[in-house]
């Protein structure tokens, strides 16, 4: 994540110049000094509104991560532990930016602990580490449910849904399942990564993302993941059975293993692993398994 995304700075400057140009034209046409005062007022109001977010992000990027938070990340995030000091510094900055930008709320106004907020941010920071120009696609934030699961009527403590990624709406996640996902760093289960993967998948499809897939050829993301899903042998798969549901679940489940047990994924399904390396812009084995190739 960038402290101030280039596109944000571009549009801020563009609209400021546009306001100045329009105001200047009005002054030239009317010759009234009041037009200059209106121009100045419009510029001040615009810049006040436009710069609030970049300044908030810059403050978050420069702030120090509390020591207790860093110790918590070291204890709970195998990905964070596997980074060198430079990588950890960038990871921490992404965590701060994520928390400054993303609304995380509990159901019924229930407060969400800093530990839960930090685990959600840690999942996002790991997935964004190889794509510094990407932003978390959580426009509606995150809603945290108490307990291990909720049901189809969104009642906490019932049913077996640990998380959900509605196309329109916030990411939904059960707090205890989120904690469980970080408790075992190698089990290939992490509901935070799973649900975030759904959002990244949707964003890639909407943006018309194209990847190499094979040497010398760039293909649309849906075509590549669809092809990988279609030829995957689920009877001999290292992925859990749930991956066979559809292409979206296949990608989300594979993403869980990619960020938890990449060596096993690469050994069992090298083609799928290579596709995820390209999608996420990183070889997660370098962080989690110490691979430097």
Q: Of the ranges 12-16, 163-167, 202-206, which one carries the lowest mean pLDDT score?
A: 12-16
pLDDT given at position 146: 96
Would you call 133 helix, strand, or coil by DSSP? coil
The model carries a pTM of 0.84
Q: Structural domain boundaries of the chain?
A: 6-62, 67-288
Q: Is pLDDT above 60 for 292? A: no
CB 53: neighbour CB atoms within 10 A? Answer: 15
SS3 163: strand
CA angle, 122 as apex, 193 and 175 as ends, to 5°?
65
Query: So what's the pLDDT on residue 21?
Result: 72
Query: Residue 36: its pLDDT value, please?
Result: 65
Q: What is the dihedral of CA 134, 140, 142, 143, to 10 degrees?
A: -170
Cβ neighbourhood burial of 283 (10 Å; 0-12, 13-18, 19+): buried
Structure confidence by residue, pLDDT tens digits, 227-252: 999 999 999 999 999 999 999 999 99
Q: What percent of the chain has pLDDT over 70?
A: 83
CATH of region 67-288, choose from 1.10.760.10, 1.10.260.40, 3.40.390.10, 3.90.1520.10 = 3.40.390.10
Instruction: Provide the β-strand partners of residue 219.
Output: 211
- Strand, coil or helix: 188: coil
Q: Which residue did the predictor score with more confidence, 169 or 128?
A: 128
pLDDT at 150 over 80: yes
State mean pLDDT over 194-219.
90
8 A C-beta contact, residue 211 and residue 275: yes
């Amino acid at each position: 994540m960038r402290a101030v995304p280039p596109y944000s700075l571009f549009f801020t400057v563009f609209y400021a110049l546009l306001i100045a140009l329009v105001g200047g034209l009005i002054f030239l046409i009317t010759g009234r000094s009041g037009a200059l005062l209106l121009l100045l007022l419009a510029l001040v109001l615009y810049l006040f509104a436009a710069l609030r977010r970049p300044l908030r992000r810059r403050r978050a990027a420069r702030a120090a991560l509390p020591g207790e938070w860093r110790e918590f990340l070291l204890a709970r995030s195998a990905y964070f532990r596997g980074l060198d000091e430079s990588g950890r510094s960038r990871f921490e900055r992404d965590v701060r930016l994520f928390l400054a930008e993303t609304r995380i709320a509990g159901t019924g106004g229930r407060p969400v602990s800093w530990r839960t907020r930090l685990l959600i941010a840690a999942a996002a920071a790991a997935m964004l580490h190889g794509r510094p120009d990407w932003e978390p696609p959580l426009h509606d934030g995150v809603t945290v449910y108490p307990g291990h699961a909720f049901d189809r009527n969104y009642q906490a403590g019932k049913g077996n849904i640990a998380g959900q990624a509605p196309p329109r709406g916030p990411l939904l996640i059960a707090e205890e399942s989120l904690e469980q996902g970080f408790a075992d760093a190698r089990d290939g289960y992490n509901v935070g990564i799973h649900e975030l993967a759904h959002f990244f998948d949707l964003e890639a499809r909407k943006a018309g993302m194209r990847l190499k897939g094979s040497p010398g050829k760039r293909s649309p993301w849906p075509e590549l993941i669809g092809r990988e899903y279609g030829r995957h042998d689920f009877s001999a798969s290292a992925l859990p059975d749930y991956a066979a549901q559809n292409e979206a679940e296949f990608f989300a489940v594979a993403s869980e293993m990619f960020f938890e047990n990449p060596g096993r994924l690469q050994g069992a399904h090298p083609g799928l692993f290579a596709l995820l390396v390209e999608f996420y812009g990183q070889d997660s084995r370098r962080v989690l398994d110490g691979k430097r190739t």
